Amino acid sequence: MKKANAEKGPKLSWKGLRNLVQLYTYIKPYRVQFALGLLFLMLSSLSNLAFPKLIGDLVNGAQVEDISAAIGATATLLVIILIAQSVFSYFRVVLFVNVAERSLAALRQDVYKHLIQLPMSFFSQKRVGELNSRISADVTVLQDTFTTTLAEFLRQMIIIIGGIALLSITSGKLTLFMLAILPPIMIVAVIFGKFIRKYSKTVQDEVAQSNTIVEETLQGIQSVKAYANEWFEVDRYKTKTDKVADIAVKGGKYRAAFSAFVILGIFGAIIAVFWRGALLIGEGQLQSGDLISFMLYSVFIGGSIGGLADIYARLQKAVGATEELLKIIEEPKEPELSVTSAVYPDPVKGKIRFDNLQFAYPSRPDQQVLNNLSLTINRGEQVAIIGPSGSGKTTITNLLLRFYEPTSGVLFFDEKPASAYNLTALRSQMALVPQDILLFGGTIRENIAYGKPGASDAEIRAAAEQANAHEFIAAFTEGYDTLVGERGIQLSGGQRQRIAIARAVLKDPAILILDEATSALDSASEKLVQDALDKLMQNRTSIVIAHRLSTIKNADQIVVLKDGNIVEIGNHADLMEREEGLYKSYRNMQVVG
């Protein structure tokens, strides 16, 4: 079982920030709303800076002769600013959320659109969970960045710069005293906090590894129970979670020490500033209200400086998420993966020719799978391909569907190179019925119609009847509207297979590829499925990869592969006449691969 590796957080760099800024191009269609949001953010932050000053004036107003007038005017101004700040904050949040959600929806759509157009070589090297995380978790991180992180950064910078300026106006001497003691404490607090966050990341990584154990165990629960390894998995999970607890307890001690430092350092600094301010009041150089304003500004500034560390951490996560998304977006797509009409400019009639094809998978470039393979399949022929596991049978289907391109040699359709066809148009004229059928989690009707989106009910029923599927579908209470469950779990293997055949019937392909379509079925299901396949193969070019040789006896050609080479070719009668032929030996065993 694969063990999750702890990932180190990405470092902020100019390149990383440029990548992040690149994603802000998705905001461009909403730039007016975004600009208004920034305006309301600035107004909200500036009104926030007015509060300490007005509260100090409120206290100072109590020391003048006309107390009621002084306090009343200041209190009225405070209420007005409070209402204004509430209005500014409301519109800021509404505008930023609207811009962020619209922009991120466009980003998600672009990433998904690009992802689904990537070649099979990309998917063969990636895990589905990882790719799903890119679209969901990584975009969620950017959602936080777009909606709050930028706003918080600007707000805190306004408070820090504006606050220090107002501190200097309030009392230059006290400002110098505060700057002498508070920044060093804040710097130590930030460094300490960064260490704690790094330690917390270690805890998160360990928790992720424990979650991987749960995920893999539940996905493979059949194997776990078959091997009676329940207690082995329990012990494995217990060991990992105990380790998480030990690390978390140690982290708790660090957090406790950090809290103690904050209390001693930050509050000690506040007491020192109050002490110095009291001396200045005694010397007549400062008023009581000004000292209160000064302390409130100091708290505002200190909180903003401390908050910058959190913003830095969020930007780190955003940069990491951006890098991963851009890696997907920068992956080269399959060529010409689009078609706008059901009428193809180059209809395929069904003749196929392999001309000295060689192929090795990109992940294993040194391991040749096909060696100078040459083969001609005429229009309407049924060709069976057999051979042991690893001989290259499924690779041929991958090349036919152009999931991969040959390392050398040329694949022809109707004597035209495969590369001369529009990729979508070419695949739209082929149908694949594999052994492991994937049905989508909707209804039977939707799964059959996947072969021809927009097909009528009559067409869907006709396809189901030809696939020997209508009878069992009609037996369901909901009929064609029956939900098949995730991956078709509500249906038997034979039922899934016949729905897949109905899907292929509806597509009406020129070329049909059957990849071990009956090898996992019982005898009763195999008879029904094979009958449906026989009807489907009529009058169309069919390539059949088979384990059970009894299903290919009537094939026009039988191709025997071994180690990527064609070692025998001919019909059943020709191959059975050979004294020491490989097909004959397989036939005696009745199964291969």
Give the separation between CA 549 and CA 73, rounded to whole angstroms.
97
Phi, psi of 286 (to 5 degrees): -155, 145
Q: Name 438's Cβ contacts closer than 8 Å, sequence gap at least 6.
A: 487, 488
Decide which of 3.40.50.300, 1.40.20.10, 3.10.20.440, 2.40.50.100 is the CATH code for 348-429+513-520+543-593.
3.40.50.300
CA distance to 165, 451, 541, 543, per residue, from 413 (Å): 76, 22, 11, 14
- Number of alpha carbons in the 13 Å side-chain half-sphere of residue 403: 17
Question: Do the domains 11-170+317-333 and 348-429+513-520+543-593 sit in the same CATH topology, yes or no?
Answer: no
Q: Which strands, in side-by-side order, build the sheet including 416-417? A: 370-377, 352-359, 408-413, 416-417
Strands 352-359 and 382-386: unpaired
**What CA–CA distance (Å, rounded) separates 387 from 562?**
6
Task: Find the distance separating the first CA and the last CA of the chain, reported in whole Å.
Answer: 26
Give domain 11-170+317-333's CATH superfamily: ABC transporter type 1, transmembrane domain (1.20.1560.10)
The set of residues, in sequence order, having a beta carbon less than 8 Å from that of 157 and lying 6+ positions away, is 304
Q: How far apart are CA 219 and CA 184, in angstroms?
A: 52
Nearest in space to 146 (alpha carbons), one of 7, 48, 33, 49: 33
Q: Each residue's pLDDT tens digit in the chain (593 positions)?
A: 444 343 444 555 555 566 666 677 778 888 898 889 889 888 888 887 777 777 766 666 655 555 666 577 777 888 888 888 889 889 988 888 888 888 888 888 888 888 888 887 777 777 766 777 777 777 777 777 776 777 778 888 888 888 788 777 777 777 788 777 777 777 777 777 777 767 777 777 777 777 777 877 887 787 777 778 788 888 888 888 888 788 778 777 877 877 787 777 777 777 777 787 778 777 777 777 777 777 777 777 777 776 776 777 777 777 777 777 777 777 777 765 554 444 455 688 889 999 999 998 887 888 889 998 999 999 999 999 988 888 888 899 889 988 888 999 999 999 999 888 888 888 888 888 887 777 877 888 998 888 888 889 999 999 888 888 888 889 888 888 888 876 666 787 778 888 888 888 888 889 999 887 665 556 666 677 777 777 888 888 999 887 777 678 888 999 999 888 999 898 888 888 887 788 888 777 765 55
Q: In what order do the strands lie in the sheet with 541-545?
A: 430-434, 511-515, 541-545, 382-386, 557-562, 565-570
AA letter at 492 = S
pTM of the model: 0.65
Q: Which of 506, 413, 493 is nearest to 453 (CA)?
A: 506
Domain ranges of the chain: 11-170+317-333, 172-285, 348-429+513-520+543-593
